[in-house]
Chains A and B, each alone.
Chain A
Amino acid sequence: KAGVTQTPRYLIKTRGQQVTLSCSPISGHRSVSWYQQTPGQGLQFLFEYFSETQRNKGNFPGRFSGRQFSNSRSEMNVSTLELGDSALYLCASSSDPGTILNEQFFGPGTRLTVL
């Protein structure tokens, strides 16, 4: 079974631009969560989607948005990029958020650098 796929793996943007990151969950998984990882703030929850609906949202500005498609693939978008948005963005999928007994599987992440 293929794991969680994130594309692209590396991305360089300049301030003010926008970026879209993609996450393909494990086949059959319907829940996708996104996290931002930085050296200063650590791992912070961005949002969670299940069956194309946002179930939870972290404490990030409105520049950060996401969506989930009918095939469970998810995208996150960051508009008007700031230097502080440079981070590793991780996506995780699980089969059913209704039970925490189901493991979340993480992708390798997308490394975003904002210049």
Chain B
Amino acid sequence: AQSVTQLGSHVSVSEGALVLLRCNYSSSVPPYLFWYVQYPNQGLQLLLKYTSAATLVKGINGFEAEFKKSETSFHLTKPSAHMSDAAEYFCAVTDSSNTGKLIFGQGTTLQVKP
């Protein structure tokens, strides 16, 4: 069965500091991996996705993530945090391209301090 674990339900960084949000997955087949962001009172927005092409994936708003099969990880990073990055972030996995079903992690709330 597939699963996703996000380490740290809350992460706090200073504005301008590195953002690192951790995600580890479990899948018996090569996975497809995603990062979504959710702002208060809004739906989810796709930041980036890994679909077995390049292992370093660049997304919107300066975010990127690296797929590491040996570590079963797909951590999200951003070199310099902005106040507008404060939101909840979700890592998700699916084992099939032929489905709209995603398995989500529990989410990480990112706080950005001035």
Asked if chains A and B come from one complex, the reply is yes
Query: Are A104 and B100 CB-contacts (below 8 A) given A42-B107, A43-B90?
Result: yes
A42 to chain B: which residues have CB within 8 Å? 104-107
Chain B interface extent, by class:
20 to 34
- Separation in Å of the A70 CB from the closest CB of chain B? 19
Binary contact readout B31-61 vs A (1 if CB under 8 angstroms, 0 otherwise): 0100010000111111001010000000000
B43 to chain A: which residues have CB within 8 Å? 4, 90, 92, 106-109
Interface residues of B (CB under 8 A from A): 32, 36, 41-46, 49, 51, 90, 92, 94, 96-107
- For the residues of B in contact with A, the DSSP-based class is loop
A100 touching B101, Cβ below 8 Å: no
A-B contacts besides A99-B97, A100-B97, 7 pairs, CB < 8 Å? A32-B100, A42-B106, A43-B90, A48-B99, A92-B44, A104-B46, A104-B100
Query: Are A33 and B101 CB-contacts (below 8 A) given A43-B90, A100-B51, A100-B94?
Result: yes
- For the residues of A in contact with B, the DSSP-based class is strand
A56 to chain B: which residues have CB within 8 Å? 99-101
Chain B residue at smallest Cβ distance from A3:
B43
B32 touching A48, Cβ below 8 Å: no
Interface presence of A101 (CB below 8 A): yes
- Most B C-beta atoms less than 10 A away, residue of A31, A92, A99: A92
Give which listed residue, A44, A90, A94, A109, contacts B100 with CB less than 8 A.
Answer: A94
